[in-house]
Amino acid sequence: MKYRFLILLSLFFIDPVAADVCATGDLGVVIEREPGNVLIINTTQHKQLGKIEKLGDLSHASVVFSRDQRYAYVFGRDGGLTKIDLLTDSVAKRILQAGNSIGGAISQDGKLIAVSNYTPGGVKIFSAESLEQIADIPAVYDDGKLSKVIGLVDAPGQRFVFSLFDAGEIWLLDMRTPAAPALQKFKNIGKQPYDALITPDGRFYIAGLFGESGLALLDLWSPESGVKKILPAYGQHDEKLPVYKMPHLEGWAIAGDYAFIPAVGRHEVLVITTDTWKLVKAIPVAGQPVFVMARPDGRQIWVNFAFPDNQQLQIIDAKDLTIENTLKPGKAVLHMEFTPRGEEVWVSLRDDNQVVIYDTATLAEVKRLPAQTPSGIFFSARAHKIGL
């Protein structure tokens, strides 16, 4: 097994220059969707370092990272939770914790892993160190029904926030005392919340609604004020197009004083001011937006689309709120990930079996890497960001 870290046995006998050393901040993973593989990549050197094979159903895989950025926790659609050691190209631990999982989060202190499940509906909490189960929170509503759980994020104060798709509720879970989890439930927040984001400062949790117009907003500084409905009238009387792929909100599309939100069933990106949560502008785009993601400096907003427009990307200028450029990198653009300071963006092209890297200043193509049906791209810098 190849080790990429230096064990200092003696300052006199080991030459640090000659050693095969790799800093964890340079690392990330690419999900190979169909074979269920995870590629370990170096974001500075633009190359693949290793591959972990056959990790089950990764068709909707997401990833979080340990505080030291050494371990990646992969959440599989089949309920698999896998802890990968990025420095040794190995599986540190793997469990099957549910029948159908949709994602997860890591706690503020890095000690707890939370997983949101469709089957059975609920959230399970595990030790980040051992993956031993610490808590089971069934998403029970209406006298015994179980709801699918979506939009699970970490929040300050050793808390997790998530939404119940079937119940139309938001739950706030306090894990400061792991042996006695504390729940606060917010009911009647809107029909069918489908995904959610938390703002980069960890204050506002926003759930998108599929069953009705608008979004649900919870101020975590003042949870006693309850959930507020924002944009309740947007598109209320307009005919929606068929939805080929649900939009994703967990990209932190917050730039300056604006939030950029993909519209459901429409070819628009909604711009909302974060002081009043009112609609500023609906920007027409090339298709139904899936990911709407802000470059780390907030100046650019990158948008990809559902079928049949998923061969292109559009870039919004956050200063002028206009389309700056349109790119056509290849077939089936599924995911984007910015380098920590945003000088590059990595884009997965599922049907071209490639990952393409762009310079975000010039939009020049930097490199293409082979990958088998790539989907999610996740860099270890996420370890130090709320909600990612």
The CA-based diameter of the chain, rounded to the nearest angstrom, is: 75
Query: 């990930």: which residue's tokens?
Result: 337
pLDDT at 234: 78
pLDDT at 235: 66
pLDDT one digit per residue (tens) for the chain, 388 residues: 445 544 333 333 444 443 467 789 999 999 999 999 999 999 999 999 999 999 999 999 999 999 999 999 999 999 999 999 999 999 999 999 999 999 999 999 999 999 999 999 999 999 999 999 999 999 999 989 999 999 999 999 999 999 999 999 999 999 999 999 999 999 999 999 999 999 999 999 999 999 998 999 999 999 999 999 999 987 666 666 677 677 888 777 888 899 999 998 899 999 999 999 999 999 999 999 999 999 999 999 999 999 999 999 999 999 999 999 999 999 999 999 999 999 999 999 999 999 999 999 999 999 999 999 999 999 999 999 999 9
What secondary structure letter does DSSP report for 242? Answer: P
- Amino acid at position 138, single letter: P
CA 382 to CA 98: how far, in whole Å? 25
pLDDT at 248: 81
Give the C-alpha distances (Å, rounded to integers) separating 237 from 194, 211, 213, 240: 20, 14, 9, 9
pLDDT at 358: 98
pLDDT at 66: 98
Contact 339, 26 (CB under 8 A): no
pLDDT at 239: 67
pLDDT at 5: 45
Q: Can you spell out the DSSP letters for 137-198?
A: EE-EETTTEE--EEEEEEETTTEEEEEETTTTEEEEEE-SSTTS-EEEEE----S-EEEEEE
What secondary structure letter does DSSP report for 223? Answer: G
What secondary structure letter does DSSP report for 7? Answer: -
CA 134 to CA 126: how far, in whole Å? 5
